């Protein structure tokens, strides 16, 4: 058995920005424990394993592992894996077009490949689960976890609330860009604040372009994601969290249609990322959420330990 | 320019144990910033860049980066880089024999290659300097800083103490494996109980077995303030603790260190304090397992 891999930086077009991902091929005979060890060895926020689909109508089965556990679904691994497959042009003996479908624990995930001048540059996923919101968290708890004062958490549009389109996140809007830049995760508070403990991950954001930033901005939203008790002090680009954010923002709108937002994440930690979000809203509910972005190839190699 | 690399697990004979290292070759024309970006991308505790030596009497020039900064010297990157080059058999057109000498920021670093059936399986590092034992710390404060009860630190042989070998470590003994297993790395606790000025690297150990010139310990190294919740195998700390023991005894010492067990990356470091003819030196030996091989396509 020869295991090969490629690594890509996802949600960026510059190597060493975005969120790194390792995509492993040839792991058909590997047990889950071996995949988990390989993911830990790569030490990225996620590593994917591309396996033959059980239904030939789909492109591949994709298993996603963080350093600690297998994930039912995640955003940047799908965008990165789809782009790597599109660069290769084929999977399991079949040529690939601009629509891929992955089999994952959370369900089937449709992926749309984006190409420029005939070359794939990135991909967009459609979230596998219906959008839902859950309990609210206390403003004081959220503020303590990200090192801000309660007054720096905005509550006019929504209070800090659990939202999910596949993976749940606490989503909190901040007062201004300065608060976003100053935010810093407090591991102790994440482990003790009663209304945060059950969720563990906070996506905080500001809307740009309005009074928040005193002018225009090249993006609509700036976000940061903290999950220190999951061993992710800060994540440079979190597809699943921004799926949740897009669903939440769409659900707050009165008129039906498609909400389109450009979201910058990872800027403060030196891995700038750009996520493109879309959410369809009609008949009083969110009907589809999509997150996409570009990818930069970084490394290619083989695993010697098998 | 083709940048190629290998990754190895250092201080272990088992894949997925020990301490991971990436060794990059072909990076002669890279800027320091590019090396730092690559080290950050690998996200291994350290990444080394192997370049031609300035003096042809040496094997190579080696630069060592963590994901955050360049280091003047470190243990596991030297052991892993030496083993990887010896396994290749040649570097910069010359064969790699049973000893290598690297040019590093700290100075010249010499290693002997360990072979098994002719194949390079590890390396022995001779520390370029003897550690310096410095300030002592209050045992109850150190216990609190790693989440242990007040009386958890053993002080019969030495108080918790700061030892410098390039980096500065705080070294403390605990009673047994259970106490060691209960310790945790928490940046907030360390700052609260030890203060900003204390070393961010906290090294705890317990004695497993001892003889006249032999000691077997199990250890853990926490450096959450430096972005490392726990390190699976710390060569520099092995030198530091041998230097600490040197101040407590006469003669030479064979020191066997098990580290990283609690975090699921078991590691073995074989350390020797050698005293002969009025001189003393410390060596650290470790084995390595090759893990990955590839190229960096982004540069």
Cβ-based contacts of A43 with chain B (< 8 Å): 20, 43-44
Cβ-based contacts of B296 with chain A (< 8 Å): 298-299
B297 interface with A at CB cutoff 8 Å: yes
Nearest-Cα residue of chain A relative to residue B192? A188
A101 interface with B at CB cutoff 8 Å: no
The 10s digit of each residue's pLDDT in B48-101 is 999 999 999 999 999 999 998 998 888 999 999 999 999 999 999 999 999 999
Of B229, B291, B298, the CB nearest to A296: B298
* pLDDT score at A215: 45
Does B46 qualify as catalytic in the annotation? yes
Interchain contact, B187 vs A187, CB within 8 Å? yes
Rounded CA-CA distance B134/B170 in Å is: 10
Fold matches, B3-126+287-296 and B132-265: yes
* pLDDT score at B72: 85
* pLDDT score at A254: 76
Where are the extended beta strands (E) located within chain A?
3-10, 19-25, 46-51, 60-65, 70-71, 90-91, 94-95, 99-104, 107-116, 119-126, 132-136, 153-154, 161-164, 168-174, 202-207, 221-227, 232-235, 257-265, 273-282, 285-303
Say how many CB pairs under 8 Å bridge A and B.
Answer: 73
The 10s digit of each residue's pLDDT in B180-237 is 999 999 888 999 999 999 999 999 999 999 998 999 999 999 998 887 889 999 999 9
* pLDDT score at A210: 52
Percent share of chain B, pLDDT over 70: 100
User: Does the pLDDT at position B297 exceed 80?
Assistant: yes
If you average pLDDT over residues B160-186, what whole number do you get? 94
Average pLDDT of chain A to the nearest whole number: 93
In sequence order, what DSSP letters do the residues of A99-164 get, joined into one string?
EEEEEETTEEEEEEEEEETTEEEEEEEE-SS--EEEEE--HHHHHHHTT--GGGEE-SS--SEEEE
* Domain spans of chain A, in order of start: 3-125+294-303, 132-293
The 10s digit of each residue's pLDDT in B177-188 is 999 999 999 888
| A65 and A74 Cβ atoms separated by less than 8 Å | no
Interchain contact, B20 vs A5, CB within 8 Å? no
State whether the Cα torsion B40-B43-B45-B49 is positive or negative.
Answer: negative
B214 interface with A at CB cutoff 8 Å: no
Interchain contact, A41 vs B291, CB within 8 Å? yes
Rounded CA-CA distance A181/A185 in Å is: 12
User: Does the pLDDT at position A214 exceed 80?
Assistant: no
* pLDDT score at B208: 96
If you average pLDDT over residues A136-150, what whole number do you get? 97
Chain A nearest-CA distance from B270, in A, is 24
Tokens of B174: 């605990």
Cβ-based contacts of A304 with chain B (< 8 Å): 290-293
Chain B nearest-CA distance from A188, in A, is 7
Interchain contact, B298 vs A44, CB within 8 Å? no
* pLDDT score at A187: 85
Interchain contact, A301 vs B295, CB within 8 Å? yes
Who wins on pLDDT, A284 or B203? Answer: B203
Percent share of chain B, pLDDT over 90: 89
Nearest-Cα residue of chain A relative to residue B33? A16
Q: Which of the four pLDDT bands, split at 50, 70 and 90, describes residue A213?
A: very low
If you average pLDDT over residues B160-166, what whole number do you get? 92
Nearest-Cα residue of chain A relative to residue B2? A299
Q: Which CATH superfamily is domain A132-293 in?
A: Diaminopimelate Epimerase; Chain A, domain 1 (3.10.310.10)
- Of the candidates B6, B13, B28, B46, the residue annotated as catalytic is B46
| B155 and B141 Cβ atoms separated by less than 8 Å | no
Overall pTM > 0.80? yes
The 10s digit of each residue's pLDDT in A238-264 is 999 999 999 999 999 878 899 999 999
Give the residue from A189, A164, A160, A181 showing the smallest Cα distance to A224.
A181
* Domain spans of chain B, in order of start: 3-126+287-296, 132-265
Give the residue from A23, A59, A19, A87 showing the smallest Cα distance to A237.
A19
Cβ-based contacts of B5 with chain A (< 8 Å): 299, 301
| A9 and A293 Cβ atoms separated by less than 8 Å | no
Please give the CATH topology (third level) of the domain spanning B132-265. Answer: Diaminopimelate Epimerase; Chain A, domain 1 (3.10.310)
Of B5, B15, B188, the CB nearest to A305: B15
**Interface residue of A19, A41, A187 to substitute, partner B, most B CBs within 10 Å:** A41
The 10s digit of each residue's pLDDT in B95-151 is 999 999 999 998 999 999 999 998 999 999 999 889 999 999 999 999 999 999 999
User: Does the pLDDT at position A217 exceed 70?
Assistant: no
Tokens of B93: 């057109």
* pLDDT score at B229: 87
The 10s digit of each residue's pLDDT in B238-263 is 999 999 999 999 999 999 999 999 99
Please give the CATH topology (third level) of the domain spanning B3-126+287-296. Answer: Diaminopimelate Epimerase; Chain A, domain 1 (3.10.310)
Rounded CA-CA distance A39/A66 in Å is: 6
Where are the extended beta strands (E) located within chain B?
3-10, 19-25, 46-51, 60-65, 70-71, 90-91, 94-95, 99-104, 107-116, 119-126, 132-136, 153-154, 161-165, 167-174, 201-210, 214-223, 228-231, 253-259, 267-276, 279-296
The 10s digit of each residue's pLDDT in A54-82 is 999 999 999 999 999 999 989 999 999 99
DSSP label at residue B58 = S
A300 interface with B at CB cutoff 8 Å: yes
- Of the candidates A46, A103, A152, A234, the residue annotated as catalytic is A46
The class (CATH top level) of A3-125+294-303 is: alpha beta
A191 interface with B at CB cutoff 8 Å: no
B43 interface with A at CB cutoff 8 Å: yes
Fold matches, A3-125+294-303 and A132-293: yes
Percent share of chain A, pLDDT over 70: 97
Please give the ipTM for the structure prediction. 0.87
């Amino acid at each position: 058995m020869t295991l090969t891999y490629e690594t890509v930086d996802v949600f960026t077009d510059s190597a060493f920005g975005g969120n790194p991902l390792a995509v492993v091929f040839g792991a058909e005979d590997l047990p889950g424990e071996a995949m988990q060890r390989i993911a830990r060895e790569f030490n990225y926020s996620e590593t994917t394993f591309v396996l033959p689909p059980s239904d030939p109508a789909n492109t591949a089965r994709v298993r996603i592992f963080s350093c600690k556990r297998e994930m039912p679904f995640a955003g940047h691994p799908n965008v990165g894996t789809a782009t790597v497959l599109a660069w290769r042009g084929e999977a399991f003996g079949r040529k690939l077009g601009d629509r891929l479908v992955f089999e994952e624990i959370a369900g089937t995930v449709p992926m749309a490949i984006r190409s420029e001048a005939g070359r794939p540059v990135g991909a967009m996923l459609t979230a596998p689960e219906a959008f839902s919101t859950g309990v609210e968290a206390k403003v004081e708890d959220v503020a303590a976890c990200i090192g801000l004062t309660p007054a720096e958490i905005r509550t006019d549009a929504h209070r800090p609330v659990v939202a999910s389109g596949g993976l749940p996140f606490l989503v909190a809007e901040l007062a201004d860009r300065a608060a976003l830049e100053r935010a810093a995760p407090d591991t102790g508070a994440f482990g003790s604040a009663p209304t945060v403990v059950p969720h563990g991950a906070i996506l905080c954001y500001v809307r740009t372009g309005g009074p928040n930033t005193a002018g225009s901005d090249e993006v609509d939203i700036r976000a940061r994601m903290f999950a220190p008790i999951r061993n992710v002090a800060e994540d440079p680009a979190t597809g699943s969290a921004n799926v949740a954010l897009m669903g939440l923002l769409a659900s707050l709108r009165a008129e039906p249609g498609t909400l389109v937002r450009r979201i910058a994440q990872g800027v403060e930690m030196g891995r700038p990322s750009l996520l493109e979000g879309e959410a369809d809203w009609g008949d009083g509910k969110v009907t589809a959420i999509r997150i996409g972005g570009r990818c930069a190839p970084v490394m290619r190699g083989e695993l010697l330990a098998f | 320019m083709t940048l190629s690399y290998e990754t190895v697990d250092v201080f272990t004979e088992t894949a997925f144990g020990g301490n991971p290292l990436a060794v990059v070759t072909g990076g002669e024309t890279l800027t320091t910033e590019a090396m730092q970006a690559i080290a950050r991308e690998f996200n291994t505790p350290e990444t080394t860049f192997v370049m031609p030596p300035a003096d042809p009497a040496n094997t190579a020039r080696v630069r060592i980066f963590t994901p955050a900064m360049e280091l003047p010297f470190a243990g596991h990157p030297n052991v892993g880089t030496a083993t990887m080059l010896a396994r290749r058999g040649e570097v910069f057109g010359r064969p790699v024999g049973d000893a290598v000498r690297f040019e590093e920021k700290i100075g010249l670093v010499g290693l002997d290659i360990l072979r098994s059936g002719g194949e390079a399986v590890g390396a022995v590092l001779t520390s370029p300097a003897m550690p310096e034992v410095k300030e002592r710390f209050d045992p109850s404060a150190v216990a609190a800083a790693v989440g242990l009860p007040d009386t958890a630190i053993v002080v019969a042989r030495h108080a918790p103490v700061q030892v410098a070998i390039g980096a500065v470590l705080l070294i403390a003994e605990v009673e047994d494996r259970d106490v060691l297993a209960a310790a945790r790395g928490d940046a907030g606790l360390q700052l609260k109980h030890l203060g900003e000025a204390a070393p961010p690297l906290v090294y705890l150990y317990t004695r497993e077995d001892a003889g006249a010139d032999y000691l077997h310990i199990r250890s853990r190294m926490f450096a959450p303030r430096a972005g490392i919740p726990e390190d699976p195998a710390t060569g520099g700390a092995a030198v530091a603790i041998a230097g600490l023991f040197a101040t407590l005894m006469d003669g030479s010492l064979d020191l066997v260190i098990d580290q990283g067990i609690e975090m699921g990356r078991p590691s073995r470091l074989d350390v020797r304090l050698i005293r002969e003819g009025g001189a003393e030196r410390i060596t650290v030996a470790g084995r390595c397992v090759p893990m990955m091989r590839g190229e960096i396509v982004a540069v």
